[in-house]
Chains A and B, each alone.
Chain A
Amino acid sequence: MSQQADNAYYVPHGTHWPIVGSLGMITMLASAGLWLNGSNTAQWVFYLGAAVIVFMLFGWFGDVIRESESGMYNRQVDSSFRLGMAWFIFSEIMFFACFFGALFYARALVVPWLGGEGAGASTNEFLWQGYLPLWPTNGPANIGGEFQTIPAFGLPFVNTLILLTSGVTLTMAHHALKAAQRGPLVAWLAATVILGAIFLYFQVEEYHHAYTELGLTLGSGIYGSTFFMLTGFHGMHVTLGAIMLAVIMFRCMKGHFKPDQHFGFEAVAWYWHFVDVVWLGLFIFVYVL
């Protein structure tokens, strides 16, 4: 503990980044609201707000990186970051749990009830007579019209292998970092980013296929809603994760991180494994089952 007194917990004095972030956030969201209400000029303000957020992230993380590289963070600060990242990821897990919950509830309860099971007998009889409760479904009113689903063991399976492989390459990068081997570290990180990009490319390909050929859209009843919201939010997280990995890669090229102290790297690795695991859940519950 006396060691701690020598190297006190770093408490920054004043920061303007949060208020910049708040201004960007309100600009983005208020103009998003106007945009949704039909104002076309608002979309440009939306992009402006998004740009302010990006500027804030650059500045804020830039400050943190500088402080970290100049050795202002002791072990205790490191622990705070670890706790912060871990519980942030937990909040993300709960966000996905919400949409998985909607999928399970709709599939296991709502659709059978609409088909007349249990207490749904009169619902089916008087409102949706003749509806057969099969999954996939766009509901008794056939919302969004006929559609076909994407077979699991095509592109989605390939994407599963890609993401799992990217988890391995990332772990290789981590080993290289711990062994102080810069070359392999950057190479493995680059491989991870590229695998992430290929995954995203295939997702776009799959969406295009769904919209243009399969008739499967966001508006295809409950199947389309759960399919696109789950895979869409996952895709956004992969995009974010890939950007974060790229930042880490550039930092590694600049010589950041030490074999025994590199939480920035680990935080992004945690995040990447989290999106990986979410994908496994998606592959099983959205595509296979």
Chain B
Amino acid sequence: MSSIADTGITHVHDDHDHDHKPRGFLNRWLFTTNHKDIGTLYLVFSLLMFFIGGSMALVIRAELFVPGLQLVHPEFFNQMTTMHALIMVFGAVMPAWVGFANWMIPLMIGAPDMALPRMNNWSFWILPFAFTMLLSTLFMDGGGPAAGWTLYPPLSLQTGNSFAFVVFAVHMMGISSIMGSINVIATIINMRAPGMTLLRMPLFVWTWLITAYLLIAVMPVLAGAVTMLLTDHFFGTSFFNAAGGGDPVMFQHIFWFFGHPEVYIMILPAFGVISEILPTFSRKPLFGYAAMVYATASIAFLSFIVWAHHMFTVGMPLEGELFFMYATMLIAVPTGVKVFNWVSTMWKGSMTFETPMLFAIGFVVLFTIGGLSGLMLAISAADFQYHDTYFVVAHFHYVLVPGSVFALMAGTYYWLPKWTGMMYSERWGKLHFWLSTIFVNVLFFPQHYLGLAGMPRRIPDYSPQFADFNKISSIGGFAFGLTQLIFVGVIVHAVWVSKKKARARVWEGAIGLEWTVPSPAPYHTFEKAPDIDESMVPHADEISH
């Protein structure tokens, strides 16, 4: 195994013929069919959205710094909460994972590119237009959407001129996601190198395969839901109007049938990345590989039958409350399997704590806090107290920020040397981790107390007894936001400044096909399918007996 690490290149390329990148900026980025370039586009785009959405969060935290209305109009505050969520969900986290999928899946399974390269280009190049349209709504008569990212009617139907544009932006994001996930499925099913059997695939590939199935199943449902909103608003239909025999609660059911799997769409690839990183820096194979695959599939299946736990207080029959409560609690079982296996992977490992590992460990600890507060929310009777309070805000930010976003950062640090060919600054990376971890807790932990004490979400003003925790939370928010500038600095440094070349196998304990190609990964890789031997796949020995 070490011989691979030392020689670096096991797959020699005919560089003269193939490593020519397209000439010219437009050819390279606008017309590209290369999975690495498209992956880079996705990642850069999502980082930009991360900062735009983050700025909106800072508007919210600035307004909530002290009680009373001081900085922004309440209507604008509502637009900020709505847009922050839409941008972070559809513009930052989801495209970032598609970027990882683009870069890593072909490298991990030994494929020459994604299965449908032209469509891959289109999946990405819809997004800048969709988000330009979404952001432009802030400047329209009546402002942007302000009914929350869930777009519940009848409130969302009162949106001003921007309403149709919001709906169409969601349609475009949906088209992009569906094409992206079709590509992921076709790539994983059809493009694996000989010998890369399904149960030898890296866990990141597995989690993305399952995520892609979720996306294809639920994005069309969201498209249908917003289409019904559109026709209710403009064409006189009565889907969500009780006077016409419809029901606003029906929107909530349809929305959350999309919305709950959507939650897992954002977290399953994170599970995959963490399952790649922990074994590398523990220098041990992943504990319970097959169990991890089955747990991921179980979580995905369960995600389709738990949606109404988002609407316990809306007035459902008792049977509904009970079914959705128990079904939701079932998810704790496969999720528990995952956390147990991550901890067991580290158990007695020869651990080192490079930046990716720090973020991965931070993920395991902090995501679990979010998971446990999720269990509290799953208890229907108790949820009547928590519903629509800051406790919910704290819960889902714990699974999304030190969950999905930490995993994105972990993955970025892990594969950045593979992408750029240069080592990033470990000192600044670690500083980024520690400041992020401290301030993410300063930001979100007090919100648990605020919620339990009864502070409602999505309200720009609050009762004075909530002042202290809000002040702490806002300080944490600004500090966390500023800390992310370090992340940009580390990336810029690694891409343009760093002189420290990365080896093919960047990390001593890393196993997998992506480490058999040079760093940076050549423009075209695996044009001939690699001959896979047992040492190149992390789970081969486990499967063979």
Contacts and interface: CB of A to CB of B under 8 A. Distances in A.
A144 B245 contact: no
A151 B234 CA distance: 28
Interface in B164-180: 164-165, 168, 171-172, 175, 178
Contacts of B187: 80
Contacts of B171: 29
Contacts of A219: 235-238
Given A105-B253, A119-B315, A144 B247 contact: no
Interface in A129-162: 137-141, 143-144
B76 interface: no
Given A8-B112, A32-B164, A119 B317 contact: yes
A60 to B, nearest CB: 7
B270 interface: no
Contacts of A224: 237-238
Nearest to B188: A83
B45 interface: no
Given A14-B31, A19-B125, A110 B250 contact: yes
Interface in A46-101: 60, 76, 79-81, 83-84, 87-88, 90-92, 94-95, 97-99, 101
Contacts of A21: 122
Contacts of A97: 220-221
A280 interface: no
A21 B172 CA distance: 12
B224 A139 contact: no
A218 interface: yes
Contact of B161 (A23, A37, A229): A37
B246 A84 contact: no
A37 to B, nearest CB: 5
Q: Binding site of A, secondary structure by majority: helix, strand, loop or mixed? A: helix
A60 B129 contact: no
Interface stretch (B113-121, B146-154, B433-441): B113-121
B420 to A, nearest CB: 23
Contacts of B118: 12, 15, 17-18, 60
B237 A11 contact: no
Nearest to B195: A1
Name, among B111, B172, B218, B250, the residue most crowded by chain A CB atoms within 10 Å (CB to CB). B250
Interface residues of B, number: 74
B189 to A, nearest CB: 6
A110 B227 CA distance: 20
Interface string A1-24: 100110011011111111101110
B527 interface: yes
A222 B529 contact: no
B116 A84 contact: yes
B125 A84 contact: no
Interface in B103-160: 111-113, 115-119, 121-122, 125-126, 129, 132-133
B497 to A, nearest CB: 30
Given A1-B194, A91-B216, A94-B216, A101 B254 contact: yes
12 contacts: A13-B33, A22-B126, A26-B133, A83-B115, A83-B190, A94-B218, A94-B220, A114-B242, A218-B231, A218-B237, A225-B231, A225-B238
Interface of A: 1, 4-5, 8-9, 11-19, 21-23, 25-26, 29-30, 32-33, 36-37, 60, 76, 79-81, 83-84, 87-88, 90-92, 94-95, 97-99, 101-102, 105-106, 109-111, 113-114, 118-119, 127-128, 137-141, 143-144, 217-219, 221-226, 228-229
Q: Give the 5 A-B CB pairs with smallest separation, nearest first.
A: A98-B224, A139-B245, A18-B122, A222-B245, A219-B236
